Amino acid sequence: MRCNYCRKPARLMRRVCSPCAKVIVIVERSGGQVGIAGLVDLFIAEGLEREQVDAVLDAKIGGAPTIRDRLTSNLTNALMQGLGMPGRQTPDDVRRVREAMKSGAGAGTWSGGETPPGWSHG
């Protein structure tokens, strides 16, 4: 059985190894309100390595948005709500934008000042 996140061998009957489980616990404990920058401090405090953290944050499991996508959408929505906007970006929206940018298909289609695709439709 290998870890779902970092692909290293995990303990028997487990799909997540203990360092990855630790990362997930920290993310969940934060309630998604801290953002990546704030979480990094928590990860360091727990003695986790950046590689380990990245493996968990960027793990793609069954086509679902990654944890990083979820954190990004949470943070974006929190920022938008702070500005009095609806803030309805979902993790799926983040994933779509990220994948579009990576493939090059969406690169250059939006720039500063414009509304990125997938954001609130009003």
How many C-beta atoms surround the C-beta of residue 7 within 10 A?
12
Binding mask 16-35 for Zn ion (x = CB under 5 A): -x--x---------------
By CB under 5 A, tell whether 5 contacts Zn ion.
Answer: yes
Q: Which is nearer to Zn ion, 14 or 88 (CB)?
A: 14
Minimum CB separation of residue 37 from Zn ion in Å reads 23
* H helix intervals, the chain: 18-30, 35-45, 50-57, 67-82, 91-103
The residues pairing with 2 across neighbouring beta strands, listed in sequence order, are 9
Nearer to Zn ion, 3 or 67 (CB): 3
Half-sphere exposure of 85 (CA within 13 A, CB side): 14
Which candidate, 64, 67, 71, places its Cα nearest to that of 52?
A: 67
The distance of closest approach from Cβ of residue 60 to Zn ion in the complex, given in angstroms and rounded to an integer, is: 14
Q: How far is the CB of 10 from Zn ion (least distance, A)?
A: 6
How far, CA to CA in Å, does 16 sit from each of 20, 49, 57?
Answer: 6, 16, 13
Of 9 and 86, which has the nearer Cβ to Zn ion?
9
Could you tell me which residues are beta bridge partners of residue 67? none
Is residue 48 a contact residue for Zn ion (CB under 5 A)? Answer: no
Residue 6 in contact with Zn ion, rule: CB under 5 A: yes
**What are the residues binding Zn ion (CB under 5 A)?**
3, 5-6, 17, 20
